[in-house]
């Protein structure tokens, strides 16, 4: 059993990205995993200010970011999770603003405790109007190994719902 958190950056919660998230979640839960989904569009999460306040806090504290908003829920869940799923439609060739903003804010935990402090397995789920995911994949493929995260798979395309289910079901 693994704890999985989904950072869902879709602009609407009944769209094509949500359909991928839904089948992934069904598969993951059937395999006995715990899944928590954060609908970022509905949350109050401000951008990282690069104030470096996180670097000045005591190392390893639960909430090193000096901003207090809904990101606190994600910080708590992120610390406990083994798997992080990044879900987003392609917006202007890359991930949506809500997803990018939430990932930027994870900087605080990593800056505070070090990049090896929170090893994760990770997944990318995306849909697009076209088939061009290249910029989003380049982004994910750079920062995820830099953090020492292990990619479990990228599901790219609204027609990949069953592949998303299988990926979820393969997590144990």
Ligand X SMILES: Cc1cc2nc3c(=O)[nH]c(=O)nc-3n(C[C@H](O)[C@H](O)[C@H](O)COP(=O)(O)O)c2cc1C
Residues at the interface with ligand X (CB under 6 A):
10-12, 15-18, 89-93, 127-130, 132, 158
CA atoms of 80 and 32, how far apart (whole Å): 16
| HEC sequence for 73-123 | HHHHHHHHCCEEEEEEECECCECCHHHHHHHHHHHHHHHHHCCCCCCCEEE
**Residue 22 C-beta-side C-alpha neighbours within 13 Å:** 9
What does the alpha-carbon distance between residue 65 and residue 53 come to, in Å, rounded to a whole number?
Answer: 7
Name the minimum Å distance from CB 22 to ligand X.
11
Residue 15 or 53: the one with the smaller Cβ distance to ligand X is: 15
In the complex, the smallest distance separating the C-beta of residue 140 from ligand X, rounded to whole angstroms, is: 16
- In the complex with ligand X, the residue whose CB is nearer, 53 or 97, is 97
Residue nearest to ligand X (CB): 15
- Measured from the CB atom, the residue of 5 and 99 that comes closer to ligand X is 99
- CA–CA separation, 114 and 55 (whole Å): 10
Q: Which residues pair with 157 in a beta bridge?
A: none
| Nearest residue to 151 (alpha-carbon basis) of 74, 80, 84, 77 | 84
Q: Where are the beta strands (DSSP E) in the chain?
A: 3-8, 34-39, 83-89, 121-127, 150-156
Nearest distance from C-beta of residue 87 to ligand X, angstroms = 9
Nearest to ligand X of 12, 59 (CB atom): 12
CB of 156 to ligand X, least distance (A): 11
Minimum gap (Å) between residue 124 Cβ and ligand X: 14
Cβ-based nearer residue to ligand X, 16 or 165: 16
């Amino acid at each position: 059993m693994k704890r999985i958190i989904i950072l869902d950056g879709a602009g609407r919660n009944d769209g094509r990205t949500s359909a991928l998230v839904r089948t992934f979640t069904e598969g993951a839960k059937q395999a006995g995993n715990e899944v928590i989904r954060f609908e970022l569009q509905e949350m109050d999460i401000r951008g990282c200010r690069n104030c470096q306040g996180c670097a000045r806090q005591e190392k390893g504290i639960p909430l090193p970011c000096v901003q207090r908003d809904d990101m606190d829920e994600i910080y708590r869940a992120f610390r406990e999770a083994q798997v992080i799923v990044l879900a987003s439609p392609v917006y202007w060739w890359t991930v949506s603003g809500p997803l990018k903003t939430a990932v930027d804010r994870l900087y605080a935990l990593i800056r505070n405790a070090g990049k090896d402090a929170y090893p994760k397995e990770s997944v990318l789920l995306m849909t697009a109007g076209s088939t061009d995911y290249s910029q989003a994949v380049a982004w994910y493929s750079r920062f995820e190994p830099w953090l020492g995260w292990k990619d479990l798979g990228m599901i790219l395309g609204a027609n990949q719902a069953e592949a998303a289910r299988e990926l979820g079901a393969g997590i144990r």
